Every structure is written in C-alpha cells, then in structure tokens.
C-alpha cells in the first residue's frame, strides 16, 4: 500500500506546479526566467493559419521577439506557417505532438509523442527545439523525467492572460497578462484556437499591443524562453 501511494505521488505531484509554486520548486520546473532581466512572451497551441500570422504582424510592429510552443499535429497541417515563425526570428519550442493531458499517457506513449513532435517541428522549421511546455501546463512524473532525459528545458509561466476562454475580453486579457510585470516574467498566451474557444486568437491579437506596451513601459527587454536555462 505504501509503495503504491509513493508511486502515485511521484506520478501526480508535478501536475500541481502551475498553481502551487512550492511544488514547482520541488520538481525544479521553472515558472520564470533564470535571469531577472527581460520578459518572455510565449504562445501555445499553434501554428494556426490565421492566428499565427496575425500575432507575427503585431510582434513585428513592436520589434518584439517571442517564443512559440508548437504542437506537432498542427505543424503537420500548417508547416509553412511554422516555418514563417522561425524565419521571423522567433524561438521555436515544443508543446508535444498531440494536445493531450500527460497524466493519461504511458511512458512509452510519451516517448513516442515527444520524438514525433521534435521530428515534425524540426523538419518544418529547421530548428532543433530545446524548451518544452506540456499541454495544459500539467506534467506527470514520467513526462518530466523524459523531458530531462531528452535534454529539454521544462518551462511553465508566471503570468497569463487566460485568453482561451469564451468570455475573455481583450482588455481583461491584457490587464491580467501585464499586471505587475517584472524582469524574469514568462507570459502565457495562445496564437491558436485548436483546443480552446472559437476565435479566441482574435481576442489575443487585440490584447497583444497593450501587453507589449506594458513590457516596454517596464523597461525590460523582450527575451526568449530559453533564457530560463
């Protein structure tokens, strides 16, 4: 009984990291950059044929560099969009191949998913990604171990816009994502609506200029997520 309890704890404990900072520290899962200099704007769930180009246009106007945590199954659908992100000078990172909760996946299925994601994303972008964020921000113990075995850096976030919800509005997204921004913050946004409410990316695009203005007003530069290492 005790052995089973310990095993289940090892499997599930990392899942609390996004909302319980002491768990994140215990599991060595960064919520922030290792440096207190700079803010990292990150986007999950893409690429998207409309959302990603719209986000790229806003970033280009602000001369801001960001990190895109791409999902392999969407890269297969839109490889040219993924390539455009890399060509624009943004950082490419991994969000897995399928957008499925990792707690439901066996170690073997995880390994297959991670390798497939790396192959697909690398082939489309010409980049070998080294930073990983799980779907829904939820790690299992085996997934976290495998990420480290692959030499990837796990990363969650310290600020988010909750931009995936149906009731989210641009003003609220911007206010939530930019509240009390400081050096070292990692901001979570989404450039796609594949796994969230329809057209949620439009609200993110509308909120993004205000978020970028807030970063600029803080005096911090835009940096990429790999600076968490």
Extract the tokens encoding 225: 């997520």
> Token pair 């909760």 is at which residue?
101
User: What are the residues whose beta carbons fall under 8 Å from the beta carbon of 52, sequence distance 6 or more?
Assistant: 43, 46, 68, 78, 81, 84, 85, 191, 192
Active site residue: 44, 113, 185, 191, which one?
44
CB atoms within 10 A of CB 117: 22
Extract the tokens encoding 127: 């980049």
CB atoms within 10 A of CB 160: 20
Active site residue: 95, 99, 190, 191, which one?
190
Cα 226 from Cα 36, distance rounded (Å): 13
* Catalytic (active site) residue 44: yes
| Cis peptide bond upstream of 47, omega within 30 | yes
* Catalytic (active site) residue 190: yes
Backbone φ and ψ for 93, nearest 5 degrees, come out as -135, 175
CA 8 remoteness from chain centre: 26
Q: Where are the alpha helices (DSSP H) in the chain?
A: 2-12, 21-26, 51-62, 72-77, 79-87, 107-125, 141-149, 170-178, 200-218
CB 160 within 8 A of CB 181: no
| Residues labelled as active-site residues | 44, 190
């Amino acid at each position: 009984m005790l052995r089973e309890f310990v095993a289940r704890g090892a499997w599930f404990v990392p899942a609390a990291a996004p909302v319980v900072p002491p768990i994140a520290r215990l599991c060595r899962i960064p919520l922030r950059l290792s440096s207190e200099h700079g803010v990292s704007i990150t986007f999950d769930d893409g690429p998207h044929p409309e959302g990603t180009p719209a986000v790229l246009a806003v970033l280009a106007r602000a001369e801001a560099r960001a990190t895109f945590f791409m999902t392999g199954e969407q890269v297969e659908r839109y490889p040219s969009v993924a390539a455009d992100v890399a060509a624009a000078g943004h950082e490419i990172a991994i969000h897995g191949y399928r957008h499925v909760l990792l707690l439901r996946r066996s170690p073997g299925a995880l390994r297959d998913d991670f390798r497939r994601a790396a192959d697909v994303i690398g082939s489309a972008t010409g980049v070998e990604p080294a930073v990983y964020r799980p779907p829904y921000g939820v790690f299992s113990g085996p997934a976290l171990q495998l990420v480290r075995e692959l030499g990837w850096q796990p990363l969650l976030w310290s600020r988010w816009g909750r931009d995936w919800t149906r009731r989210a509005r641009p003003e609220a997204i911007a206010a939530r994502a930019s509240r009390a921004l400081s050096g070292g913050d990692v901001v979570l946004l989404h450039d796609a609506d594949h796994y969230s409410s329809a057209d949620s990316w439009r609200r993110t695009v509308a909120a993004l200029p205000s978020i970028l203005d807030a970063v600029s007003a803080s005096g911090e530069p835009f940096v990429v997520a790999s600076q968490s290492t």
